[in-house]
């Protein structure tokens, strides 16, 4: 699925929206951390406690990227800036899969979780 979408998006000019892609990556990463760390803090003193290294893993989790891409691709063709939305979403998905996904195992090994 991602190869087909990537082939379609390769026809888009990334230079004009590169800053938007970087901003979206930063905001998504921040949003994930803001969603995970407070929830882990709620359970800090309970038997359901999540260790800090494990919460770091969850904050970088790449789940849900296919859903984000499907939602962006599901926008109507006449939606304003649809191509830009799809391209930025693809940039975030690609970053999540390649940068975060491929570095997760080394990070967990370094934190002593594997």
Q: Using one digit for the tens of pLDDT, what is the confidence trace for 8-61? A: 665 666 677 889 989 998 998 888 778 778 887 888 888 877 766 566 555 555
Indicate if the pLDDT at residue 79 is higher than 90. Answer: yes
Structural domains in the chain (count)? 1
Q: What is the largest CA-CA distance in the chain?
A: 51
Does some domain include residue 91? yes
Does some domain include residue 7? no
- Structural domain of 67: 17-110
Taking a C-beta distance cutoff of 8 angstroms, is the pair 9, 24 a contact? no
User: What is the pTM assigned to this prediction?
Assistant: 0.73
Does some domain include residue 11? no
């Amino acid at each position: 699925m991602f190869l087909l979408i990537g082939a379609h998006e390769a026809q888009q000019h990334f230079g004009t929206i590169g800053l938007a892609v970087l901003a979206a990556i930063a905001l998504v990463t921040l949003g994930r951390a803001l969603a995970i760390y407070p929830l882990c803090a709620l359970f800090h003193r309970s038997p359901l406690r999540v260790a800090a290294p494990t919460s770091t893993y969850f904050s970088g989790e790449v789940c849900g990227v296919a859903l984000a891409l499907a939602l962006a691709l599901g926008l109507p063709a006449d939606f304003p800036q649809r191509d830009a939305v799809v391209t930025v979403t693809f940039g975030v998905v690609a970053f999540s899969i390649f940068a975060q996904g491929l570095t997760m195992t080394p990070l967990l090994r370094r934190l002593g979780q594997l």
